[in-house]
Amino acid sequence: MKTHEIRERFTQHFVSRGHEAVPSASLILDDPNLLFVNAGMVPFKPYFLGQQNPPFPNGTATSIQKCVRTLDIEEVGITTRHNTFFQMAGNFSFGQYFKEGAITHAWELLTNSVADGGLGLDPQRLWVTVYLDDDEAADIWHEKIGVPRERIQRLGMEDNYWSMGVPGPCGPCSEIYYDRGPEYGADGGPIADDNRYMEIWNLVFMQNERGEGTGKGNFEILGPLPKKNIDTGMGVERVACLLQGVDNVYETDLLRPVIDTAQELTGARYGEGAPDEDNIRFRVIADHSRTGMMLILDGVTPSNEGRGYILRRLLRRIIRSAKLLGATGATMERFMNTIMDTMTPSYPEIAQNRERILRVALNEEKAFLKTLESGTRLFDEAVEEIKAHSRAKTAKVLSGEKAFELHDTYGFPIDLTLEMASEAGLEVDMEGFDAAMGEQRRRAKADNQAKKHGHADLSLYREWVDEHPTVFTGYEELRSDARVIGLVRDGQKVSEVAEGEEVEVILDQSPLYAESGGQVADRGRLVAGETLLEVNDVQKIGKKLWVHKATVTAGGVDLGHTVSAEVDQQWRHGAVQAHSATHLIHAALRQVLGPTAVQAGSLNRPGYLRFDFNYTEQLTPQQLQEIAAITNQAVDANFAVNTIETSLDEAKAMGAMALFGENYGSQVRVVEMGGPFSIELCGGTHVGSTAQIGPVSVLGESSVGSGARRIEAYSGLEAFRYFSKETALIEGVSRELKVQTEDLPGRIAAMAEKLRAAEKEIETLRKAQLMAKSAEFLGGATQVNGFRVLTVRLPKGTSGGDLRTLATDLRNRAKDEATVIILAAQAGDKLPFIVAATDLAIARGVKSGDIVKRYGEVVDGKGGGKPDMAQGSGSRPEAAEQGFEALKTYLETL
């Protein structure tokens, strides 16, 4: 049975039993505790935590959620069931059915015949586990379902008790296992061998509330929940593995084609008889290709932090594994195309994003292949240094510190380092490497814990979210009479506030826009007689409740009072100009760059906008000019701006663009400008027609990370001011140079060329003067332990290139003696320095790299190089002479 069919059967099974089918949320959600959605229940957390009432009429739902877990990336391919990306099929009950319902639903799907819509698993091969004292679940499994007592096993907190890791709902769980047979391990159920007995479904019975604590079991159970909930998860990949009769989750219909492609590209073979390390690499390629593709699909781009770092790491592990298997060139395009083919039936949106996914992945491959090049050079230098300093009979070892530097600083994978070290006849100090890696992980974990915070206590607002959501009137008017239905001061509900206090005000309706979708919140005021509250921010809670953060500047206000809520009209005018201009720039961008340029974030405040988009190449000046021209042409065309309330499916049929990471309800708002010119899902406020935006001045574009670019622009009056300032500047330069403005580029280019020629001539003369002093410098050399030693501190401003040129010349002039040359020159607050040694000096044991390191210790710097020449830089120029003397003392010991 194909994976796509398993998904369909699961969904249909629960829909036919009254559950509402909920589409998978994006892998990226606005959750402070998660990089990615890592469990099927994550999108439902507000309902389980009691922050919102579930919006499902029957109180039940089902979904097949995209998930990514990356804590154990190194385990991928080693175990038979570990994927970084997986699909969690789940059914959820919010105060409706409980243990018996959940158990019955799961059993029927698993064991009903294929003809009856089930999955057709043999019930005699199913085992279950329950929590230690959960007699209720054990009795249901035995008495209602008919599972023999000997196939029901009990496990403790670590295995069969669930919580979110923070105070909130918790409860025992029951897991369903499939016995794969004696060829996979020992008899005795899941307790005896969890490889033979594969877990395929976990049923969580949320019945208690947990308190503070750490770990899986170190917390207090405070008591029962008011309503009992169900959260279950069936592993789609694991069930596919069983139904397709393959040994592991990497050989199912979704991933096996990638392994086949990898065999073709590398010449290596996968499966029985192949080395274990090769089989693991094939599985890594298959797993990471899918995870990387799905992350890019949901808007992640490679970078050095957060989500982007995880994606970069996954893609680089693919490239590394293919190289270790024997690939000699680029492989990413084939891997990505293969996995997109297998996944598109379940995720049709892949087809529309295929070109963008390829662009991101291929650019990362290109960059990493260059990294491998530079890492290889550093590795070769380290090997040369080790061999030069090691005695013939002594084991040659690459230090753990150097291996970690290659890994951490240069992105050089440790297993590639191990392979290359073996080829070079070296060992790697893995104990030292593991210690350095462990220290880094401890620092990262500590940093993550410092940043991580539990869920904000939104239960304070639940009453209003559920019973009195704010009616937003700001699309139609800028002033509304409203009733004060809530006051919060310092995290506590209050009934009144007085002058001078900071307060959160909740109104039954409001014209003030709450920050969302990149558009900043409205500024405004709440007025009632002599009372005045200045509103400086408006935030949403649960997408339903507007919280006005205000300062009471006059009078006071009580619960139940009626106030006039007024938007600062000038602020709103500037904000809608910028927000509407963002839509036009997005449309212009896609006209110029094509559909692979997709919005990745924005900020709109009065008069200013920035627009981030996924694109891997720097825009040319011509492209930027074209984007600006198309945008302003749309302004000049005075397109009507229409808004349409419709269903999500209808909006997509209209061609409306949706943004990555956004979760839309069943009803959405479509903003259309100029018919097909721009049509997007957007809940923001906008101008009535594009001419109201005024001029748009595109300031430029820049990189904000690998595969991500940013355009910045002014709109309306701010754009006019910018144009005026630029015009005045150009006119001033024209007057100064006494040319017409249209002739400025030519005149400036000619002046710049003259300046470059003059600077080049000065540089040539300066170098000639420096070289002319070579003989004078050599005359100042001293004798130290049979070495001719030349130490020179050169004038300020001497560059590193000058040092190398002079050192080369001096070494050539002194080649007939054992000469050591040490040059230093102050450049700002730094001290660049260089060491050169003649062949005769090297024969006596001098290594320029060693001398550079010793000099660096004195001047607080570091450097490196080869025996004949090495250079570095220090941060204590005042210690230059002290360093010279230290090196002379060192040479006395040779």
Domain assignment of residue 768, yes or no: no
The two three-digit tokens of residue 452, written as one number: 């991580």
**pLDDT bracket for residue 218 (50, 70, 90):** confident
Whole-number pLDDT of residue 453: 33
99 and 33 part of one domain:
yes
Whole-number pLDDT of residue 449: 44
Domain assignment of residue 715, yes or no: yes
Whole-number pLDDT of residue 451: 37
334 and 196 part of one domain:
no
Domain assignment of residue 461, yes or no: no
- Size of the chain in residues: 894
Whole-number pLDDT of residue 801: 78
409 and 475 part of one domain:
no
d(CA 850, CA 831): 18
155 and 230 part of one domain:
yes
* More confident: 202 or 707: 202
272 and 145 part of one domain:
no
Last residue of a domain, one of 567, 600, 630: 567
Pairing between strand 20-22 and 60-68?
parallel
Domain assignment of residue 477, yes or no: yes
Q: Whole-model pTM?
A: 0.67
User: Residue 516: how many CB atoms within 10 A of its CB?
Assistant: 15
d(CA 349, CA 356): 12
Q: By three-state DSSP, how is residue 169 classified?
A: strand
595 and 662 part of one domain:
yes
Domain assignment of residue 141, yes or no: yes
pLDDT tens digit string along 673-718? 998 899 999 989 999 999 999 999 999 999 887 678 899 999 999 9
User: Residue 338: how many CB atoms within 10 A of its CB?
Assistant: 21
pLDDT average, residue stretch 5-13: 97
Whole-number pLDDT of residue 376: 74
Domain assignment of residue 739, yes or no: no
What percentage of the chain carries pLDDT values higher than 70? 94
Residues at the annotated binding site?
579, 583, 682, 686
pLDDT average, residue stretch 18-28: 93
d(CA 515, CA 512): 10
Tell me, what CATH number does 527's domain have? 2.40.30.130
212 and 360 part of one domain:
no
Q: Is the pLDDT of residue 80 over 90?
A: no
pLDDT average, residue stretch 543-572: 94
Tell me, what CATH number does 136's domain have? 3.30.930.10
Domain assignment of residue 161, yes or no: yes
d(CA 442, CA 449): 10
Last residue of a domain, one of 691, 725, 759: 725
Q: Degrees (nearest 5) of the Cα angle 748, 749, 752?
A: 85
Last residue of a domain, one of 248, 266, 300: 248
201 and 277 part of one domain:
no
Tell me, what CATH number does 615's domain have? 3.30.980.10
Question: Angle of helix 354-389 relative to helix 332-343, nearest 10 degrees?
Answer: 140
869 beta partners: 836
Tell me, what CATH number does 809's domain have? 3.10.310.40
Cβ atoms 838, 807 nearer than 8 A: no
Domain assignment of residue 196, yes or no: yes
Sequence-distant (≥ 6) Cβ neighbours of residue 399 within 8 angstroms: 429, 432
Cβ atoms 221, 161 nearer than 8 A: no
**pLDDT bracket for residue 194 (50, 70, 90):** confident
Whole-number pLDDT of residue 823: 93
Whole-number pLDDT of residue 452: 37
275 and 405 part of one domain:
yes
Residues at the annotated binding site for Zn(2+)?
579, 583, 682, 686
807 and 671 part of one domain:
no
Number of structural domains found in the chain: 5
106 and 129 part of one domain:
yes
Domain region containing 99: 3-248
**CA 57 from centroid of its chain's CA atoms:** 36
422 and 297 part of one domain:
yes
